[in-house]
Structure 1
């Protein structure tokens, strides 16, 4: 079957493209398999914080989609990777409680939520990964973003 390509429709620009989001998902999961990690779930949000792509591997536990979404959402909500959000949650509990209330409990302050940036630094979206230890989830997210030719922002200085 031949795939037909159409020009992108005019109108709203949402940052990360569907094609880029598919690469992020596929390569994030491939990294997890290469590392022998537990089954992962990947969520990609666009620049407006809306779902662009998501995939839950076979065997991933029940809340992994919500956790991955929360990692990506937290990064988008505050404009930095969830590694920095995790650091702030340690020292700014009052702020984190307020953020949780404002976000309806959707911001998850642990590593694994990575902002996706263009070469010029513009935020195109975010990816969240859940399934293994948070640090390992983050490694996979970074690999997926790099594979799409984009720049990951974990919240740590480069």
Structure 2
């Protein structure tokens, strides 16, 4: 499982990256491998529903074992299947980049981070920076 220290480091570095890039206000959620919330933060002026979107990106990645970008690709091919997962998933499933699986150096799944607030590509870039800053690895 991901430690609180690692999760907080991911959240802080993700928000810092967004600020450094001049992005819109970001919201970040880190879930452990079981889908429980470990750390969360939202920038000042984050819009409504951002907490649910961040957890939906991370939760969807955990549910399917791939990044939320890949879930988005899957939705293009099988929209009914991906749409059907939202109601049965604890945090929903958001099929857009910004949800990234987190592993340790051995490839063991620790959890996932979900980022929302700017473009999906920028959200994902910040998530990757947060994971790297914690000394952990992203899994696609």
Determine which of 26, 29, 40 is the counterpart of 1:54.
40
Structure ID, larger Rg: 1
CA distance in 2, matches of 1:141, 1:56: 14
> How far did 1:104 drift?
6.0
1:134 aligns with 2:120: yes
CA offsets, 1:101-138, max 9 Å, x none?
32267110100000001111111000000000000000
Shift of 1:94: 2.3
| Alpha-carbon shift at residue 95 of structure 1 (Å) | 1.2
Structure 1 segments (4+ residues) deviating >4 Å:
none
1:109 corresponds to which residue? 95
Contact 2:101/2:138 (8 A) holds in 1: yes
Query: Structure 1 residues 100, 23: CA separation in 2 closer, same or farther (over 3 Å shift)?
Result: same
Whole-angstrom distance in 2 between the partners of 1:152 and 1:141: 9
Partners of 1:64 and 1:74 in 2: how far apart? 15
More helix by share: 2
Q: Which runs of structure 2 are paired with 1:1-158 in the superposition (5 Å)?
A: 15-103=1-89, 106-153=92-139, 155=140
Distance 2:90 2:6 in 1: 29
Q: Give the 3 Å change call, closer, same or farther, for CA 151–105 of structure 1 in structure 2.
A: closer
How far apart in 2 are the matches of 1:104 and 1:47? 13
TM-score (normalizing by structure 1) = 0.86
- TM-score normalized by structure 2? 0.96
